[in-house]
Amino acid sequence: MIKLEEGNVLLKPAQRRQLMACFRRALRLGARLGDFVLTISLKRIGKLFELHADIRDRRGNFHCRSRQNDWRTALRDLSRSICLGLHEQCLRRA
């Protein structure tokens, strides 16, 4: 399950769909682990966009953060770090 907290950033519906599509791989990896909850906070700080993610599953909790000039770049960076963390948890499980 993904929870999105937009904060002070106004997203269009198409942008919200792009954001959710970016985390499809994370959802599949989280479904393997079980009890997966991904909470994403999106904030604008000056000219920067900050995305903060809290990930909870059966194997444990971890946090990721990305701060970039463009929200799409921050989104790509955050999704990569989330997938790497989930993949590491899957490997530790085996």
DSSP letters, 10-62, are ---HHHHHHHHHHTHHHHHHHHHHSS-EEEEEEEEETTEEEEEEEEEETTEEE
> Rounded to 5 degrees, what are φ and ψ at 63?
-125, 145
Q: What is the pLDDT of residue 10?
A: 87
Domain boundaries, given as residue ranges, for the chain: 2-93
For the chain, residues with pLDDT lower than 70 are 94
Q: What is the pLDDT of residue 39?
A: 95
Q: Any residues with CB less than 8 A from the CB of 60 and at least 6 apart, and which?
A: 89
CATH superfamily for domain 2-93:
Ribosome hibernation promotion factor-like (3.30.160.100)
Q: What is the pLDDT of residue 40?
A: 93
**Predicted model pTM:** 0.88
CA-based max dimension of the chain? 43
Half-sphere exposure at residue 11, Cβ-oriented, CA atoms within 13 angstroms: 19
